[in-house]
């Protein structure tokens, strides 16, 4: 597995194990399976509610702490320095680690206001400055954002000392935000692609299935390879040993013509998966 070097020199594995919608009780089993399969990059978040389970798996894995790259994210609803500072301290405690490899602002807006008119530019600067504090204190090795659009990124870059090292975005066949990808790549900000299998809906897409058959690979393998060939860091999620292992078997190349065809593919209908309970349910209870 190749590592990607961030602009501050920190290296991050190009494939990470995503833990969205993995319950805290099941996280130790799933993360252990991922580590046994060869993953060394684990992506979690405060909103996922599974940091304790992730930390337990890492502690019991037998691997040295420095061998595992851990990501977490400040809750999208925490838009003040006080809340952000406490949330990072809580993540460190729940994960049971002395430092976190990558910490992100989970979203520029609270999820219930996602992509609404209110942009929270001032609040995101305040939260970002807390990330800078923890970065300078060596409690976080790299800092970044998630779900940020170009103007959200420019807001941070124009008002803060340290620019983001990573932007984690929804990116998959049928939803490839080329404007954000291009901006990040031009500004030396690494892009992470979450939900590369389109919340699982790619498995039912006729065009994607047909393309996977052409390469004699699974739909999941095609989707993950697609994001890697966009020069993004891919974050697939799986819970079974077979799928966790298969998602690393990527010894093939998608042709340039087929990449162009996949980039142009129409938007995928998420159906019931368009509702994201991991965020909405938790945040209604706040």
**Sequence-distant (≥ 6) Cβ neighbours of residue 266 within 8 angstroms:** 174
> pTM to 2 decimals?
0.94
Task: Give dist(CA 59, CA 102) in Å, integer.
Answer: 18
The answer to whether 172 touches 196, Cβ cutoff 8 Å, is yes
Helix (H, G, I), strand (E, B), or coil: what is residue 189?
coil
Those residues with Cβ within 8 angstroms of residue 35's Cβ, 6 or more apart along the chain or in another chain: 42, 57, 58, 61, 63, 68
| Helical residues (DSSP H) of the chain, grouped into ranges | 27-37, 51-60, 81-95, 121-136, 150-159, 178-186, 206-215, 219-229, 241-246, 256-263, 277-284
Helix intervals (H) in 191-276: 206-215, 219-229, 241-246, 256-263
**Mean pLDDT value across residues 230-245:** 96
Q: Model confidence at 269, in pLDDT bands (50, 70, 90)?
A: confident
Classified as helix, coil or strand, 119 is: coil
pLDDT at 126 exceeding the cut of 50: yes
Average pLDDT over the chain reads 94
Alpha carbon distance, N-terminus to C-terminus of the chain? 39
Residue 99 burial class via C-beta count within 10 angstroms: exposed 0-12, middle 13-18, buried 19 and up: middle
pLDDT greater than 90 at residue 80: yes
Look at residue 266 in the predicted model and tell me its pLDDT. 81
Q: Which residues pair with residue 234 across a beta bridge?
A: 15, 193
All domains of the chain in start order, with CATH? 3-284 (3.20.20.100)
275 versus 243: the higher-pLDDT residue is: 243
Q: Phi, psi (5° rounding) for residue 231?
A: 65, 40
Contact (CB, 8 A) for 70 and 116? no
Q: Read off the pLDDT of each residue in 84-102 and give the average, rounded to a whole number.
A: 98
More confident residue, 285 or 198: 198
Question: Is residue 235 helix, strand or coil?
Answer: strand
Cα angle 282, 237, 140 (rounded to 5 degrees) comes to 70
Q: What is the mean pLDDT of residues 199-227?
A: 96
> Which one, of 192, 116, 122, lies nearest residue 156 by Cα?
122
Above 80 in pLDDT, residue 275? no
What is the reported pLDDT for 228?
98
149 φ/ψ angles, rounded to the nearest 5 degrees: -85, 175
Q: Residue 79, Cβ neighbours under 10 Å: how many?
A: 19
For residue 286, pLDDT over 80 is answered with: no
Q: Which residues are catalytic?
A: 48
State yes or no: pLDDT of 271 exceeds 80: no
219 phi and psi, to 5 degrees?
Answer: -60, -40
The pLDDT of 136-164, averaged and rounded, is: 98
Compute the average pLDDT of residues 62-79: 97
* Cα angle value 209/210/211 (rounded, 5°): 90
Reading the block at residue 158, the tokens are 């124009």
Do 66 and 92 meet the contact criterion of CB atoms below 8 Å apart?
Answer: no
Which has the closest alpha carbon to 21: 271, 243, 239?
Answer: 239
- pLDDT digits 0-9 by tens, 10-59: 999 999 999 999 999 999 999 999 999 999 999 999 999 999 999 999 99
- pLDDT for residue 250 is more than 60: yes
């Amino acid at each position: 597995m190749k590592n990607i070097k961030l602009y501050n020199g920190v290296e991050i594995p190009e494939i990470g194990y995503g833990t969205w919608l993995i319950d805290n009780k099941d996280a130790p089993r799933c993360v252990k399976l991922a580590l046994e399969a060869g993953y060394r990059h684990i992506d979690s978040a405060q909103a996922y509610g599974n940091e304790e389970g992730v930390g337990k798996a890492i502690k019991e894995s037998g691997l040295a702490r420095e061998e595992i790259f851990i990501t977490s994210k400040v809750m999208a609803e925490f838009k003040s320095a006080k809340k952000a500072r406490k949330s990072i301290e809580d993540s460190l405690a729940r994960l049971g680690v002395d430092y976190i490899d990558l910490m992100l602002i989970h979203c520029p807006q609270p999820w219930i206001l996602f992509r609404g008119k209110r942009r929270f530019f001032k609040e995101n600067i305040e939260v970002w400055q807390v990330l800078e504090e923890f970065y300078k204190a060596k409690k976080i090795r790299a800092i970044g954002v998630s779900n940020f659009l170009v103007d959200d990124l420019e807001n941070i870059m124009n008002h803060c000392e340290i620019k983001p090292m990573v932007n984690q975005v929804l990116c998959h066949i049928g939803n490839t935000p080329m404007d954000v990808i291009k901006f990040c790549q031009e500004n030396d900000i690494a892009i992470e692609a979450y939900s590369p299998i389109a919340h699982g809906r790619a498995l039912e897409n006729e065009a994607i299935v047909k393309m996977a058959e052409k390469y004699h690979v699974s739909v999941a393998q095609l989707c993950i390879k697609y994001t890697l060939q966009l020069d993004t860091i891919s974050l697939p999620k799986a819970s079974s040993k077979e799928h966790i292992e298969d998602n690393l078997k990527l010894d093939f190349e998608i042709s340039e013509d087929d990449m162009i065809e996949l980039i142009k593919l129409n938007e995928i209908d998420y159906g019931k998966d368009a509702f994201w309970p991991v965020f909405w349910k938790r945040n209604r209870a706040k």
